[in-house]
Amino acid sequence: MTKSNFTRRGMLKTGALAGSGLALPTIFTAQSAAAASFTNDPTGSTVTLGFNVPQSGPYADEGADELRAYQLAVEHLNGEGDGGMLSTFSSKVLEGNGILGKKVQFVTGDTQTKSDAARASAKSMIEKDGAVMITGGSSSGVAIAVQGLCQEAGVIFMAGLTHSNDTTGKDKKANGFRHFFNAYMSAAALAPVLAARYGTDRKAYHLTADYTWGWTQEESIASATEALGWSTVNKVRTPLASTDFSSYIAPVLNSGADVLILNHYGGNMVNSLTNAVQFGLRDKMVNNKNFEIIVPLYSRLMARGAGKNVAGILGSTNWHWSLQDAGSKAFVQSFGMRWGFPPSQAAHTVYCQTLLYADAVTRAGSFNPCAVGEALEGYEFDGLGNGKTLYRADDHQCFKDVLVVKGKENPDNEFDLLEVVEVTPAAQVTYAPDHPMFAGGALGECNPGA
Amino acid sequence: MLGLNTKDTRLLLIVIALTLSTPILLQPFAEGTGLAQFNAGYPDLMQRFAIFGIFAIGFNILFGLTGYLSFGHAAFLGVGSYSAVWMFKLLSMNILPGLILAVIVSGLFALLIGFVSLRRSGIYFSILTLAFAQMSFNLAYSVLTPITNGETGLQVTLNDPRILDGVNASPYTNLFGLPMSSSVKLELLGRLFTFNLGYYFCAVIAILAFYLSLRIFRSPFGLMLRAVKCNQQRMSYTGLNARPYTLAAFVISGMYAGLAGGLLAAMDPLAGAERMQWTASGEVVLMTILGGAGTLMGPVLGAGFIKYFENIFSKINDTVLHSWFAFLPDGIEDALVFVVQPFVGKGWQLTLGLVFMLVVVFLPGGLMEGGQRISAWIRRKSRKDDGRADSEHRPGTSPHIAE
């Protein structure tokens, strides 16, 4: 059926087409050699930062609070507002004239709490908006995925709310930095308090969100409590998308356990804790001991969701607005004036990260990711609300005091839900960089991109 | 040309021209202006246009031709991604082995799922595929974590074996040493055009995929598939067994999805479980219906439309809105921002939903039908104009009979 007739003109046309097709790839080898020595070198009078937070999905509340803190940090860096923690920060190089004299601008994106969407959003910030630093994330899976992307693209990643050991453990990257604490630190801070309050002879039952963060937290808590002399009855994994935990709570009653550990966060924790309290677990006496529930990672936003159910329940947190040091007070005042309510720990950590980045750029005198990374590595600072803090060079993790908190029995208002039980000093939660829970990864070389 | 009639050749040439000039077409607004927000000509999004175009073209071979509505196509996308990333980890960062394995594995997977699911049709088929996809998602998310790395997603690391790569081989996905991320930037008339190798690779594959689907649409095999959609009962009464045809269509479209998944991984070496979630399966159904099921160009248009919304509209936040309306008095500015805000930024899905509803109600044939109506209207109008130009109503010359 097909008719083929070669004509001279046709041959010429096809030849020209094929020739230009073959020639096409060669223009790519030029590779924009004349461009800057690192990705998105800000050449104008402004510098763009990318704030990549969940605006939909289970962690949308945290995302919204992070965004408020980012906006506040940008205002303070540009010399607007009251300056917040700039006045209490131990480093005084930031003068409120932007970063290196360039006005700070920002773009935002929605991670949807999905690795794929988060990477797409971060990529568009880097490729379209020319962001020189990406920060944010709530959920460790997302943070790890975006950290990997930033390493490849050659920009700095300042992690937001990510608590998994893996972020600065087996998935650590040279371009990624974390201010937030991790599951190991939670466990190390909680264990002595648990021993003091609940004794050393307990049987624990774990309910764990079935993903990276849940597993590392379960591992950390189990190993810390077992070191106290507790035994672990069972570890049950629950899907991240679950909203009703009744079917997981019922077996706890018959297991002989006298402590329930909820390795859940956000909406998951609100639902599982509510279910557990509704089942009357807290009024039970098992093995002649009062049944206890522990939520290793607490946040005020979660406490608000769970309402009265959090009363008396122990957990740990990175920072709380009721702290009385100068840095925390300045931040709470500034955030409260701007938005009308106190900040959450997510807001605090991302605000600190933004300031720390700006400070590192200023000290390094360059936006080059390698120079910034060098300025952050092994950097000791104070006045950001957590006392003396060290950015360790070996794994880019911050080491600072950890708060053990308890749900308040009689809260005065809807923000005053947690009370600080103990401030565990940084030395007690510090671990060796090659600790087995963190082993298996390598920072690699810093990548300036382009 | 290439076994196509003139009309199809013209269509193919138009598609080729459009795909190759995408980096220019999607960058219509000058940098630094407020409208630059709407530019979409950056590599990641263009790659997504091409890749999801391939995905939707493949889905359309099944849904558009046979009428079998699969609600689990994202599973093949995910399987393709995972196989490609594993190839990057084990064999080489060269993307070809990864892509080939992605297509093969997803084809086998589609054969398995299709063999079971195609025993039923209609809603039962849809539910079966949905169940399989959701099962794959849950497996990838937690049970098969050693293979899929669970929620975090499978990533390449520095200490992967990569037995085919030498010591100094590029650690980034590449095509015989040319990294996918390399691009040439061109500044012209205040616009910044980015010609990215990764995009052009995807574009060439997309054109091939489009050409293949064009041939399938015009082939006797395509006719058989249409017969299945038209009246399967009558087909079996005439002594034809429909199952091999539908299974073939299912496998082909599964392979398209796997290819798309492999390309996604080739552009950005990460495979996440969310890629297999039912929302992702629903998305390709939306793309196809929005663009026009059963048409050749429709699904590609739909894919572009949805990805544009997801990536561009979702980035319009309060600050951007305030800067747009800054020229208005404060009260009105705030009021306007308050009204517009739910529809952009995090509310992009709301706008997309509204658009989808309008399209389904008023243009059942999708965006393609919209295009056809507009072109028909223009043609009618221009014909009317011609009539009006002839004010003296002279009789026209009678057409030659032999013409």
How far is B122 from A226, CA to CA, in rounded Å? 55
Give the nearest partner residue to A212 out of B42, B150, B200, using CB atoms.
B150
Q: Which amino acid is at B373?
A: R
Give the nearest partner residue to B270 out of A31, A115, A124, using CB atoms.
A115
Chain B hits for A152, Cβ within 8 Å: 172, 181
What integer pLDDT is reported at residue B385 of this predicted model? 59
For the segment A205-229, the average pLDDT, to the nearest whole number, is 89
Residue of chain A with shortest Cα separation from B43: A127
What integer pLDDT is reported at residue A25 of this predicted model? 44
Calculate the CA dihedral of residues A49, A53, A55, A57 and round it to 10 degrees: 160
How far is A212 from A435, CA to CA, in rounded Å? 18
- Find which of A124, A146, A236 to mutate to test the B interface (most B CBs within 10 Å of its CB): A124
A32 pLDDT above the threshold of 60: no
Residue A4 pLDDT level (bands cut at 50, 70, 90): low
Give the nearest partner residue to B270 out of A106, A119, A441, using CB atoms.
A119
Cα–Cα separations (whole angstroms), residue A314 to A136, A317, A420, B253:
27, 10, 10, 53
For the segment A36-49, the average pLDDT, to the nearest whole number, is 85
A359 pLDDT above the threshold of 80: yes
Chain B hits for A28, Cβ within 8 Å: 178, 182-184, 195, 197
What integer pLDDT is reported at residue A412 of this predicted model? 79
Q: Are B152 and A56 a contacting pair at CB < 8 A?
A: no
Q: Are A2 and B3 a contacting pair at CB < 8 A?
A: yes
CATH superfamily of A46-181+321-400: Response regulator (3.40.50.2300)
What integer pLDDT is reported at residue B82 of this predicted model? 93
ipTM rounded to 2 decimals: 0.80
B323 pLDDT above the threshold of 90: no
For the segment B350-368, the average pLDDT, to the nearest whole number, is 88
Q: Which amino acid is at A119?
A: R
- β-strands A314-317, A285-286 pairing: unpaired
Q: Are A148 and B138 a contacting pair at CB < 8 A?
A: no
- Listed by start position, the domains of chain B span 6-277
B388 pLDDT above the threshold of 80: no
B117 pLDDT above the threshold of 90: yes
Q: H or E element: which one contains A238? A: strand A231-238
How far is B324 from B247, CA to CA, in rounded Å? 52
CATH superfamily of A184-317: Response regulator (3.40.50.2300)
Q: Are A55 and B39 a contacting pair at CB < 8 A?
A: no
B131 pLDDT above the threshold of 80: yes
Least confident of A6-15, A78-87, A120-129, B132-141: A6-15
B319 pLDDT above the threshold of 90: no
Per-residue model confidence as pLDDT tens digits over A221-255: 999 999 989 999 999 988 777 788 888 988 888 88
Give the nearest partner residue to B153 out of A28, A35, A115, using CB atoms.
A115
Q: Are A127 and B44 a contacting pair at CB < 8 A?
A: yes
In this complex, is the C-beta atom of B160 within 8 Å of any C-beta atom belonging to chain A? no
For the segment A49-54, the average pLDDT, to the nearest whole number, is 91
In contact, A146 and A139? CB cutoff 8 Å: no
In contact, B256 and B60? CB cutoff 8 Å: no
Give the nearest partner residue to B151 out of A119, A120, A240, using CB atoms.
A240
Residue A408 DSSP SS3: coil
Q: Are A27 and B42 a contacting pair at CB < 8 A?
A: no
Q: Report residue B37 CA to chain centroid gap.
A: 22
Per-residue model confidence as pLDDT tens digits over B33-53: 777 778 888 888 899 999 999
Per-residue model confidence as pLDDT tens digits over A397-440: 999 999 999 988 887 777 888 888 889 999 999 999 888 888 88
Chain B hits for A166, Cβ within 8 Å: 152
For the segment A148-170, the average pLDDT, to the nearest whole number, is 90
How far is B37 from B29, CA to CA, in rounded Å? 9
How many CA atoms, within 13 angstroms, populate the side-chain half-sphere of residue A74? 21
Chain B hits for A134, Cβ within 8 Å: none
Residue B129 pLDDT level (bands cut at 50, 70, 90): very high
What integer pLDDT is reported at residue A156 of this predicted model? 93
Per-residue model confidence as pLDDT tens digits over B244-287: 999 999 999 999 999 999 999 998 888 888 888 888 899 899 99
Q: Are B172 and A166 a contacting pair at CB < 8 A?
A: no
Where in chain A are all domains bearing CATH 3.40.50.2300? 46-181+321-400, 184-317
What integer pLDDT is reported at residue A158 of this predicted model? 93
Residue A295 DSSP SS3: strand
Q: How far is A284 from chain B (nearest CA, A)?
A: 33
Range among A155-164, A266-275, A297-306 rated most confident: A155-164
Question: How many residue contacts between A and B have a Cβ separation below 8 Å?
Answer: 120
A59 is written with which tokens? 């962690």
For the segment B308-334, the average pLDDT, to the nearest whole number, is 80
Residue A362 pLDDT level (bands cut at 50, 70, 90): very high
Least confident of A158-162, A224-228, A266-270, B116-120: A266-270
- Write the DSSP assignment of B98-111 as a string of letters: HHHHHHHHHHHHHH
What integer pLDDT is reported at residue A27 of this predicted model? 43
Residue A3 pLDDT level (bands cut at 50, 70, 90): low
Mean of pLDDT over chain B: 85
In this complex, is the C-beta atom of B341 within 8 Å of any C-beta atom belonging to chain A? no
- Find which of A62, A68, A75, A127 to mutate to test the B interface (most B CBs within 10 Å of its CB): A127
In this complex, is the C-beta atom of B21 within 8 Å of any C-beta atom belonging to chain A? no
B125 is written with which tokens? 């088929």
Decide which of B381 and A372 is more confident. Answer: A372
In this complex, is the C-beta atom of B5 within 8 Å of any C-beta atom belonging to chain A? no
Give the nearest partner residue to A211 out of B151, B184, B349, using CB atoms.
B151
In this complex, is the C-beta atom of B170 within 8 Å of any C-beta atom belonging to chain A? no
How many residues belong to chain A? 450
Q: Are B142 and A211 a contacting pair at CB < 8 A?
A: yes
